[in-house]
Amino acid sequence: MKVIVMPKAAVLDPQGNAVRDAMRHLGVPEVRSVRIGKYMEIDVDGKNGELEARLHGLCRDLLSNPVIEDYELQGSEVRSQKSEVRSQKFRLRQGYGATGRGQK
């Protein structure tokens, strides 16, 4: 399974801007923008609905910050889902508890 975590489109990405500026400085002025995220590969045993729900919870509560980041699960056991609305993808509802990290 693969997890991709990226800053939300509305969130500034100073690290991405620094890389973009460096690329331009190094002779590639065509680079318009760069977004820096995280990529993880996770091996899991089993494949059922409960596992999928727990993996989404893990992504929401541990691997990403739902206030400023979106995540996407990819893999044969878990169908690809993005946490941001893009074309035909659905929006994952995220609750915020006392810690602000996706508790309901």
pTM tops 0.85, yes or no: no
* pLDDT of residue 24 exceeding 90: yes
* pLDDT of residue 96 exceeding 80: no
Per-residue pLDDT reduced to its tens digit, 25-75: 999 999 999 999 999 999 988 777 788 889 999 999 999 999 999 999 997
**Measuring CA to CA, which residue among 58, 69, 61, 53 is closest to residue 15?**
69
Average pLDDT rounded to a whole number, residues 86-93:
32
pLDDT at 46: 78
pLDDT at 90: 30
